[in-house]
């Protein structure tokens, strides 16, 4: 034990955050204790609530504490008959911020990665197949990351869509190859949407 039991526990638990080691966890703990009890109180509360209440949208799989997320529960979003497949909620946000797209989403929460044991069912492709075969879709837009895994995942989904007789497109390579989609600026993302090509 280094400090009091509760302070030690605080420093240890902060290290579950990515990029936070023992030294910065200690700095964070002392900052909260010395200078921001109020912010720390809110942090504790919102972390606890988020961990226990936030689940996945029943339709698109993104994070939400409701049954359906805000996009899926918006009837205007179904009008276009478009479904955009992304890897993560951050990618969804990047596309929303670009302002080019007004259809629905499907969030994989990852990508195919056989070496890590992540197969089709782990990223919801069984549910996507049901969604595609049961709905009336005009177009599926594949907006997975332009990485090896993202391209492989896109190809896998394209095959499913073809089997379901749904038109599939892939966002154009306006986005830098090898990069992460969530860091691309809105203009580039908008360009990549308008320049999308049939798969």
Residue among 115, 65, 61 nearest 88 (CA): 61
Closest of 102, 44, 112 to residue 71, by C-alpha: 102
Residue 103 CA, chain-centre distance (Å), reads 16
Query: In this chain, which of 69, 86, 158, 168 binds a copy of itself, going by CB under 8 A?
Result: 69
Compute CA distances 71 → 59, 74, 110, 147, 157, whole Å: 10, 5, 20, 27, 22
Determine if 58 is a binding residue for a copy of itself (CB under 8 A). no
Binding residue for a copy of itself, selected from 64, 82, 169, 192, defined by CB under 8 A: 64
User: Least distance from C-beta 137 to a copy of itself, angstroms?
Assistant: 25
The two three-digit tokens of residue 84, written as one number:
């955009």
Cα 70 to Cα 4: distance, rounded to the nearest angstrom: 44
- Residue 126 binding target from Zn ion, a copy of itself, none, CB below 5 to 8 Å by type: none
Q: Site for a copy of itself (CB under 8 A): how many residues?
A: 56
42 contacts a copy of itself (rule: CB under 8 A): yes
Q: For residue 83, which of 36, 22, 43, 130 has the smallest C-alpha distance?
A: 130
Question: Which pair of structure tokens corresponds to residue 40?
Answer: 């720390």
Shortest Cβ 105–a copy of itself spacing (Å)? 12
Establish if 119 lies at the interface with a copy of itself (CB under 8 A). Answer: no
Choose the contact partner of 80 out of a copy of itself, Zn ion, none; CB within 5 to 8 A by kind. none
Query: Of the candidates 21, 22, 67, 70, which one interacts with a copy of itself according to CB under 8 A?
Result: 70
Which residue of 59, 62, 104, 169 would you call a contact of a copy of itself, by CB under 8 A?
A: 62
What is the DSSP-derived secondary structure letter of residue 113?
B
- The contact set with a copy of itself (CB under 8 A) reads 1-7, 9-10, 12-14, 16-19, 24, 26-34, 36-37, 39-54, 62-66, 69-70, 88-90, 93, 109
């Amino acid at each position: 034990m280094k400090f009091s039991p509760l302070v030690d526990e605080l420093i240890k638990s902060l290290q579950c955050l990515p990029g936070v080691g023992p030294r910065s966890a200690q700095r964070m703990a002392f900052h909260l204790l010395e200078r921001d009890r109020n912010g720390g109180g809110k942090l504790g509360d919102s972390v606890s609530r988020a961990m226990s209440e936030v689940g996945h949208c029943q339709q698109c799989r993104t994070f939400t504490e409701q049954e359906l997320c805000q996009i899926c529960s918006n009837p205007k979003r179904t009008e276009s008959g478009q479904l955009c497949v992304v890897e993560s909620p951050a990618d969804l946000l990047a596309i929303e911020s670009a302002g080019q797209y007004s259809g629905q989403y499907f969030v994989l929460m990852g990508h195919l990665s056989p070496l890590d044991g992540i197969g089709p069912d782990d990223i919801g492709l069984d549910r996507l197949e049901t969604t595609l075969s049961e709905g009336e879709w005009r177009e599926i837009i594949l907006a997975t990351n332009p990485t090896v895994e993202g391209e492989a995942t896109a190809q896998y989904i394209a095959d499913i869509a073809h089997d379901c007789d749904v038109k599939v497109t892939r966002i154009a390579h306006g986005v830098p190859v090898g990069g992460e989609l969530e860091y691309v600026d809105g203009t580039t993302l908008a360009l990549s949407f308008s320049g999308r090509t049939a798969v």
